[in-house]
């Protein structure tokens, strides 16, 4: 009888352990984020609706998109409001590729450092989110110096990509 009781106790403990949810994974460190972003050749940053309107006027004025330069319209990037736990966050988005961006989204191609410059220049955005194939990468303003340091360690230059526009295709 004692053996049966012991077996039931062991079985109950095993079942309880199996039913527990595993702890969520730790968020990546800024250094890990920097190492991952160092593998991205570019990011696509959606233009704001005001920028899209200004671009349309510039195309009408210049005749063709190929004739438009950065100086022909004011550039700003889409900042979306996300409600997280009852708190509203202003998020600046970027996509790792056109296949991840919603269909028709007009985005500017940027290097990762160029995206960080745009994020830092936008006082409205509190968090940057990069939609990537392995999942979203969330970056706060205070993490940027450590992420940048890892990018530099990985040999990523601070270059600006030439102005180009890409439409999302998801």
Total-model pTM: 0.79
| Residue spans of beta strands (DSSP E) within 11-164 | 43-46, 79-84, 87-95, 106-110, 127-131, 137-140
State the pLDDT at residue 163: 77
Nearest to 51 by CA among 71, 90, 77: 77
Reduced to 3 DSSP states, what percent helix, strand and coil does the chain have, rounded to the nearest 5? Answer: 40, 20, 35
The pLDDT of residue 105 is 87
Indicate the helix (H) or strand (E) that contains 37.
helix 30-37
Tens-level pLDDT at each residue, the chain (170 residues): 555 555 555 555 566 666 677 777 888 999 999 999 999 999 999 998 888 888 889 989 999 888 888 788 888 899 988 887 888 889 999 999 999 999 888 899 999 999 999 999 998 899 999 999 989 999 999 999 999 999 999 999 888 888 778 888 76
Neighbours of 4 (CB within 10 A): 8
pLDDT for residue 142 = 94
Strands (E), 8-136: 43-46, 79-84, 87-95, 106-110, 127-131
What pLDDT, on the 0 to 100 scale, is given for residue 74? 83
């Amino acid at each position: 009888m004692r053996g049966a009781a012991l077996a039931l106790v062991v079985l109950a403990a095993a079942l309880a352990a199996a039913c527990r949810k595993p702890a969520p994974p730790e968020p990546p460190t800024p250094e890990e984020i920097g190492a991952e972003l160092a593998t991205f050749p570019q990011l696509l940053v959606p233009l704001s609706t005001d920028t899209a309107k200004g671009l349309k006027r510039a195309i009408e004025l210049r005749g063709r998109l190929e004739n438009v330069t950065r100086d022909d319209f004011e550039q700003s990037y889409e900042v979306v409001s996300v409600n997280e736990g009852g708190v509203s966050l202003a998020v600046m988005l970027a996509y790792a590729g056109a296949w991840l961006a919603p269909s028709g989204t007009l985005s500017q191609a940027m290097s990762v450092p160029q995206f960080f410059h745009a994020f830092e220049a936008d006082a409205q955005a509190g968090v940057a989110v990069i939609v990537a194939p392995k999942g979203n990468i969330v970056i706060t303003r205070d993490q940027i110096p450590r992420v940048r340091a890892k990018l530099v360690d990985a040999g990523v230059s601070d270059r600006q990509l030439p102005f180009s526009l890409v439409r999302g295709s998801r």
